[in-house]
A = this chain, B = another copy of it.
Amino acid sequence: MTQPIKFLEPRAQVLADRERIIADLKTVLPDDCLVHEPRELVPFETDAFVSYRRLPLAVALPRTTEEAAAVMTYCHRFGIPVVPRGAGTSLSGGAIPQEDAVVIGLSKMSAILDLDFYNRTARVQAGVTNLSISDAAGAEGFFYAPDPSSQLACTIGGNIGMNSGGAHCLKYGVTTNNLLGVKMVLVDGTVLELGGKHLDAAGYDLLALVCGSEGQLGIVTEATVRLIAKPEGARPVLFGFETSEEAGSCVADIIGAGIIPVAIEFMDKPAIEICEAFAKAGYPLDVGALLIVEVEGSEAEMDAMLADIVAIARRHGVKTVKECQSAMEAAAIWKGRKSAFGATGRIADYICMDGTVPLSQLSHVLKKTSEITDRLGLRVANVFHAGDGNMHPLILFNANDPDDAARAEEAGNEILKLCVDAGGCLTGEHGVGIEKRDLMRHQYGEADLAQQMAVRAAFDEGWLMNPSKVFPLEGRG
Q: Which residues in A have some Cβ–Cβ distance to B below 8 Å?
A: 116-120, 141-142, 163, 165, 173-174, 176-177, 186, 190-194, 196-206, 208-209, 211-213, 228-230, 252, 255-260, 297-298, 300-301, 304, 356-360, 388-390, 423-429, 432, 436, 440, 443-444, 447-449, 451-452, 454-459, 470-471
Contacts and interface: CB of A to CB of B under 8 A. Distances in A.
A452 to B, nearest CB: 5
Given A301-B298, A458-B455, A200 B258 contact: no
Contacts of A357: 198
Nearest to A454: B458
Nearest to A357: B198
Contacts of A428: 198-200
A360 B358 CA distance: 40
How many copies of this chain does one complex carry? 2
Contact of A456 (B204, B252, B389, B432): B204
B197 A423 contact: yes
A228 B211 CA distance: 25
Contacts of A300: 298, 300-301
User: Which 9 pairs across A and B sit closest by C-beta, in order of nearness?
Assistant: A229-B258, A208-B208, A454-B458, A202-B426, A197-B358, A458-B458, A118-B256, A198-B424, A118-B360
A77 to B, nearest CB: 17
B209 A429 contact: no
A367 to B, nearest CB: 18
A79 B451 CA distance: 20
A454 B459 contact: yes
24 contacts: A119-B255, A177-B177, A186-B447, A186-B451, A197-B423, A199-B388, A199-B389, A200-B356, A200-B390, A202-B425, A202-B436, A202-B444, A204-B213, A204-B456, A205-B211, A205-B212, A206-B209, A209-B455, A229-B258, A229-B259, A298-B301, A300-B301, A451-B458, A457-B458
